[in-house]
Structure 1
Amino acid sequence: MLKDLLKEPLAPWQNGSGDVSDIVLDSRIRVSRNLKKYVFPSKATDEELAAVLAEGERYLPSLNLLGHGTYEAVALTDLTPLEREVLAERHISSATQIKTPAQRGVMVRQDGAVSVLINEDDHFCIQTAAPGLQLEQVWDEASQIDDTLESKLNFAFRDDFGYLTASPSLTGTGLVAGVTLHLPGLVMMKRLNRIVQVITKLGFAICGLYSERNEYIGNLFQVTNQVTLGISEEDILKQMKKIVGQIVQEERNCRSLLWTHNQNAMKDRLFRNYGVLSQAWMMQLDEAVELLSDFRLAIDLGVIQERPQAYPALLTAAGPGYLQYQAGRELNGEELDLQRAQTLRQLLRTYAV
């Protein structure tokens, strides 16, 4: 089941549904929990890590009873290095977890929308995802899994602090909510910095998913909460939904202004970049991410007739882990650039309307 997920550029849950899905790509939840009787993974012995892994896998059948799909437990040592890289790129695992795969594992739901990381920074990290703006749905699913595991396991909790976590910044709810947004309008109109300043004061952060030398690549950003102590999960999600709604409206306004006042220039840019994306023989990752941003904007503006799901599929396919996994071996820089361009050309034809 897991290996089938890794082969495809889109997971079943990435169907383009959800509110404001033209701007909000996905909503995600991470919930960190630890067992009271063991030290945190970074300080634990192999025997303690093995015990935590066994406890998690023992209760996998309880997750199947939730009725949203079946789960598979996978030890990271049973995967190849290339498979682990794709696991991290697809956010089913994490770069932190795959660095030391011994006595670490994941429990993955068949649609790829839910995974439970065992022995990452914390003993358990529950991850849920959904397309578009669906914070309530991802929280409900994470909460159900959390309640199911907590009914079987003794999680570390104190009345005065809440849930105890390896990182003090997560102590309390142990919750990190994230919403991924595509914001080319705000970037082109140079209005993003003002939004960053405002939401930072409200206890939230916005960071670029792809960045280099303090420059944002591909206009992809994630809004996350920075406060987990002294506030309820419901309040975090309520505030985040309000903030995201305001960002979406600002982005719509910027796109409208750009299109109204610079329609010919916008069409020229979008068609030119689509030509490069669809015809290039070699392509580096940063260039691909930038071109894909204009590709998605062109779809949203009705300039190019492609299915919106092509965008997340192409983003996945541009990743070095995915490309090497498909090739079945490690690729050097030039081989990666050749393979990336070829894969993007093929997928553009696959998702054409």
Structure 2
Amino acid sequence: MNFPVFSKKSTALAGKHLTESVFSTLKEKKTPNGFSLPMALASGIKNHDSGIGIYAGDAESYAVFSAVFSPLIEEYHGIPPGTPHGTDRSVVDLPNPDPRGQYILSTRIRVARNLAGYAFTPFIQRQQRREVTRKIMSALASLPDSLAGIYLSMEQDPLSPVTMPPNAQFIPKKQLQPMDLHSFIFKKGDRFQEAAGINRDWPDARGCFISQDTRFRVWINEEDHLRIISMDGHGDMSSTFNRLAIALENLESTLKFAWNDTLGYLAACPSNIGTGMRAGVHICLPRLFHQQDLLHKEVRQLNLQVRGTQGEKTRVEKAVFDISNERRLGITERKCLVTLHRGISRLIELEQTLERKK
């Protein structure tokens, strides 16, 4: 088996930390599920613009191939190996940093989770994927009435909503039309996920849960077994976070998630381990849009990251930025939110200062 060569154009961290010596040691090794290092590296090898360049096929990948994963994780997350990872989703009550709704268009918090004992999406086989979906649907059926909603199986065309929990009685706060349903489902994975094997058997056992008010959602078998999402059309981050915390508490009462004491919740991509949480806002900053060097400097100092309006690798439209927490490992969920809140408050203050100078 030849040493995998990353493109000279590649900036992938996996390529940086994969030496011939390390590969020689690991090339014949496999996890108990049968996942190998060449499989883990397939997406990074094929896509030279991959930032990470490696996927975990299961929880065991992080241990079996630790000679690659550990230094990569240390560099990406800035956390020394062996540092304990804690969790804290206690109730928060932070003031809305934009009470008049002048800047923040929406708040969105999501976490990535995978079920313990199953291969992750790059390597999961059809039967296991279906078992994962059944377990998740069973857990969704036990959600409290405040989170009740509908489940959409992406295998069905046209989409046919199923009430969840099955005996829930509610009048939807938003009357969803057939055309609306397609706006809630996720798309087939991009070329990075395709090369990793995540799109295998598409759309088998993929689906979406949407609460009756559409503010809580669960994506099943996208990049991870679950993407659990809480969102609002305002800047009250506390309500968005607290809704997510309630949902996680309920789901964890019936589901066991893949967890490691130092890596936290495990994900297919090592960028999403730890809290697995991305808490962000869409925020309109017209003055800072014209001073983006200043914006990016502030964002770095505030431990945040900025993306284009439609997410990673997209451009900024109408001065609307997607700004979120940067750290996920070695930090609690509550601390992630506090960091975002403090940072967004600072950026709004800066925007207002620039407005006054005009």
1:168 counterpart letter in structure 2: P
1:102 counterpart letter in structure 2: D
**RMSD of the alignment, in Å?**
2.8
Q: Which residue of 2 aligns with 1:59?
A: 139
- Determine which of 149, 155, 163 is the counterpart of 1:77: 155
Structure 2 vs 1, CA of residues 126 and 213 (structure 1 numbering), >3 Å: closer, same or farther?
A: closer
2:113, 2:276 within 8 Å by CA — same for their partners in 1?
yes
1:137 counterpart letter in structure 2: S
Distance 1:215 1:118 in 2: 28
Task: Render the CA deviation track for 1:323-349: whole Å, top value 9, x for unaligned.
Answer: xxxxxxxxxxxxxxxxxxxxxxxxxxx
Aligned pair 1:173/2:278, yes or no?
no
Aligned pair 1:95/2:95, yes or no?
no
Q: Which residue of 2 aligns with 1:351?
A: none
Distance 1:199 1:231 in 2: 18
Structure 2 vs 1, CA of residues 111 and 215 (structure 1 numbering), >3 Å: closer, same or farther?
A: closer
- Determine which of 338, 342, 348 is the counterpart of 1:248: 348
Q: Which residue of 2 aligns with 1:125?
A: 227
Quote how far apart the aligned CAs of 1:68 are: 1.8
1:95 counterpart letter in structure 2: K
1:26 counterpart letter in structure 2: S
Q: Which residue of 2 aligns with 1:326?
A: none
Q: Which residue of 1 aligns with 2:121?
A: 41
Task: Render the CA deviation track for 1:293-328: whole Å, top value 9, x for unaligned.
Answer: xxxxxxxxxxxxxxxxxxxxxxxxxxxxxxxxxxxx
Structure 2 vs 1, CA of residues 180 and 109 (structure 1 numbering), >3 Å: closer, same or farther?
A: same
Structure 1 unpaired stretches of 5+: 1-16, 259-353
Matches within 5 A, 1:154-193: 154-187=256-289, 190-193=290-293
Structure 2 vs 1, CA of residues 214 and 164 (structure 1 numbering), >3 Å: closer, same or farther?
A: closer
Q: Which residue of 1 aligns with 2:29?
A: none
1:60, 1:73 within 8 Å by CA — same for their partners in 2?
no
Secondary structure of the residue that 1:42 maps to in structure 2?
coil
Quote how far apart the aligned CAs of 1:204 are: 1.5
Distance 2:131 2:353 in 1: 53
1:31, 1:125 within 8 Å by CA — same for their partners in 2?
yes
* Identity level (%): 26
TM-score, with structure 1 as normaliser: 0.61
1:110 counterpart letter in structure 2: Q
Quote how far apart the aligned CAs of 1:233 are: 1.1
1:97, 1:104 within 8 Å by CA — same for their partners in 2?
no
Task: Render the CA deviation track for 1:46-90: whole Å, top value 9, x for unaligned.
Answer: 111111111111122211x2x424221110122449x999667x5
Task: Render the CA deviation track for 1:88-134: whole Å, top value 9, x for unaligned.
Answer: 7x5x3433469732210011101111111111111111001012212
- Determine which of 180, 203, 213 is the counterpart of 2:303: 203
Distance 2:135 2:254 in 1: 9
Quote how far apart the aligned CAs of 1:32 are: 0.9
2:154, 2:206 within 8 Å by CA — same for their partners in 1?
yes
Quote how far apart the aligned CAs of 1:199 are: 1.6
TM-score, with structure 2 as normaliser: 0.60
Distance 1:183 1:203 in 2: 18
Higher relative contact order structure (alpha carbons within 8 Å, sequence separation ≥ 6):
2
Structure 2 unpaired stretches of 5+: 1-96, 160-176, 191-198
Matches within 5 A, 1:1-353: 19-63=99-143, 65=144, 67-80=145-158, 90=183, 92-96=184-188, 100-187=202-289, 190-210=290-310, 216-258=316-358
1:210, 1:218 within 8 Å by CA — same for their partners in 2?
no
1:122, 1:166 within 8 Å by CA — same for their partners in 2?
yes
2:307, 2:313 within 8 Å by CA — same for their partners in 1?
no
Structure 2 vs 1, CA of residues 103 and 239 (structure 1 numbering), >3 Å: closer, same or farther?
A: same
Distance 1:212 1:24 in 2: 19
1:203, 1:227 within 8 Å by CA — same for their partners in 2?
yes
Secondary structure of the residue that 1:29 maps to in structure 2?
strand
Quote how far apart the aligned CAs of 1:138 are: 1.3
1:21, 1:131 within 8 Å by CA — same for their partners in 2?
no
Q: Which residue of 1 aligns with 2:30?
A: none
- The number of residue pairs the alignment matches comes to 235
Distance 1:194 1:253 in 2: 13
Structure 2 vs 1, CA of residues 79 and 97 (structure 1 numbering), >3 Å: closer, same or farther?
A: farther
Task: Render the CA deviation track for 1:7-32: whole Å, top value 9, x for unaligned.
Answer: xxxxxxxxxx9734220011111111
2:133, 2:205 within 8 Å by CA — same for their partners in 1?
yes
Distance 1:84 1:200 in 2: 42
Distance 1:20 1:223 in 2: 19
1:211, 1:217 within 8 Å by CA — same for their partners in 2?
no
Secondary structure of the residue that 2:294 maps to in structure 1?
helix
Quote how far apart the aligned CAs of 1:212 are: 11
Structure 2 vs 1, CA of residues 84 and 123 (structure 1 numbering), >3 Å: closer, same or farther?
A: farther
1:19 counterpart letter in structure 2: P
Distance 1:254 1:228 in 2: 31
